[in-house]
């Protein structure tokens, strides 16, 4: 079907793009967003953070197992078991 005339342009708010929600600059606005792209970025960053954290825990456990009696973490045995469980 052919248009006989061009549609009239819709006036947008100053500084806003058509079809996009305004950028939120606060941390609360970032955390409470419903934008799927922002949620994906937060999910990826969280996964990467826990990947690095578990890698550091694994290296700590390997350091302790390298030599008998070598304690690189606090001397409490409950701390070691807690770390093993978290890893």
∠ CA 70-75-79, nearest 5°, is 110
Q: Residue 11: what pLDDT?
A: 65
In angstroms, what CA-CA distances link 69 with 47, 59, 60, 66? Answer: 33, 16, 14, 9
Upper half-sphere CA count for residue 34 (Cβ side, 13 Å) = 2
Query: Per residue in 16-74, pLDDT tens?
Result: 555 666 665 788 888 888 999 989 999 999 999 999 998 988 888 888 778 766 666 55
Q: Residue 23: what pLDDT?
A: 64
Please give the model's pTM, rounded to 2 decimal places: 0.55
Q: Residue 36: what pLDDT?
A: 92
């Amino acid at each position: 079907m052919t248009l006989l005339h061009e549609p009239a342009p819709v006036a947008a708010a100053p500084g806003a793009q058509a079809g996009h929600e305004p950028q939120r600059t606060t941390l609360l606005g970032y955390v409470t967003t419903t934008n799927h792209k922002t949620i994906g970025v937060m999910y990826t960053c969280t996964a990467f953070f826990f990947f690095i954290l578990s890698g550091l825990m694994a290296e700590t456990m390997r350091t302790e197992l390298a030599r008998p009696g070598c304690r690189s973490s606090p001397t409490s045995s409950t701390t070691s078991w807690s770390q093993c469980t978290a890893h």
